[in-house]
Amino acid sequence: MAKKSRKGSSGIRKDSGPRLDLTAQQWVVALLIGLATVCAATYGWRAAAIGSTAAYDDRQSISETISTEQETIDVALGVSNDTLQYTGYLADYVVAAELGNQAGALKRIGNASAASDALRQARFLRRSATERAADAGVFGRSTIADDLARPSAAPRPFSFEDQIKARTAEQQTGIDSPGKLDPGAWAAEANGIRDQINGLTAWALVMFAAVLLFTVAEANSLRRPVFYTAMSLGIVVLLTGISGGMTFAFFA
């Protein structure tokens, strides 16, 4: 059984609730305002999403900066110890050279046995000095095989710069080493993300400017010159904000 329409005392049918009765012009303005608002909200969401990445990059940069400084200190201490050990190595070679001179003198006076003992002590001193220096890290163990087999009368050279490079490489290739650190790269990435966030914020403000222009247009709908001017500017600003924001900030 069909329901009868409710009528008032005047016989006019009453609606069940208020109805939104907008003109086509008002619908267009409302849709444009909604589009601009959604775009602004999207830019804000993107800025918030990548903001956590910038914070992470900052933490990584700080952490690697501290680790790099610690490695630098460790390398400096290691090279200082190497220099000290090399000084002892040179001192042993000086003593060995003096033993060689004594052996020559003994040999000239006919004391061959004592000269042989002096030469043997000199070779032993050079060999032990080389081994101690290698154990201390002054020389690479694989580079002293010839000196151990036939100790040279001249000491091995020592380069401060080469030792720094060797100690640095040792730090970076150790089992517990984090590898080659680059805190500057993390800092640059964090700065780039912050620039992107600033760009997204700026384009969101452009969207709000479009909303303002559309609102002004609707408020002056009966004043056609003002309406068309505000609408035209709003559409230009909206399209600029969408194309520019997506191109230069959202997917940057």
Residue 31 inside a domain? The answer is yes
Residue 196 has pLDDT above 60, yes or no: yes
Q: For residues 187 and 219, what is the distance between their CA atoms, to the nearest angstrom?
A: 48
Evaluate whether 214 touches 11 at the Cβ level (below 8 Å). Answer: no
Residue 13 inside a domain? The answer is no
Residue 233 inside a domain? The answer is yes
Residue 10 inside a domain? The answer is no
Residue 172 inside a domain? The answer is yes
Q: What is the pLDDT of residue 179?
A: 62
Residue 15 inside a domain? The answer is no
Tokens 């900030």 — which residue? 249
Q: How far lies 110's CA from each of 100, 114, 115, 122, 145, in Å?
A: 15, 9, 9, 19, 34
Q: Which two tokens stand for residue 17?
A: 């609730």
* Angle, alpha carbons 31-225-216 (nearest 5°): 45
Residue 163's pLDDT band (cuts 50, 70, 90): confident
Residue 235's pLDDT band (cuts 50, 70, 90): very high
Q: For residues 155 and 94, what is the distance between their CA atoms, to the nearest angstrom?
A: 9
Q: What is the pLDDT of residue 252?
A: 66
Task: Name the burial class of residue 51, with classes exposed (0-12), middle (13-18) and buried (19+) by CB atoms within 10 angstroms of its CB.
Answer: middle
Residue 58 inside a domain? The answer is yes
Q: For residues 92 and 81, what is the distance between their CA atoms, to the nearest angstrom?
A: 17
Residue 84 has pLDDT above 50, yes or no: yes
Q: Which two tokens stand for residue 216?
A: 């002004």
Cα torsion angle, 138, 144, 149, 152, sign: negative
Closest CA to 154 of 84, 100, 85: 100
Q: For residues 209 and 167, what is the distance between their CA atoms, to the nearest angstrom?
A: 59
Gyration radius of the chain over CA positions: 42
Number of domains in the chain: 1
Task: Name the burial class of residue 82, with classes exposed (0-12), middle (13-18) and buried (19+) by CB atoms within 10 angstroms of its CB.
Answer: buried
| Residue length of the chain | 252
CA 79 to chain centre: 28
Residue 232 has pLDDT above 90, yes or no: yes
Q: What is the mean pLDDT of the chain?
A: 83
All residues at 6 or more sequence positions from 146 whose CB lies less than 8 Å from its CB, including other chains? 152
Residue 21 inside a domain? The answer is no
Range of the domain at 95: 26-250
Across residues 74-97, what is the average pLDDT? 88
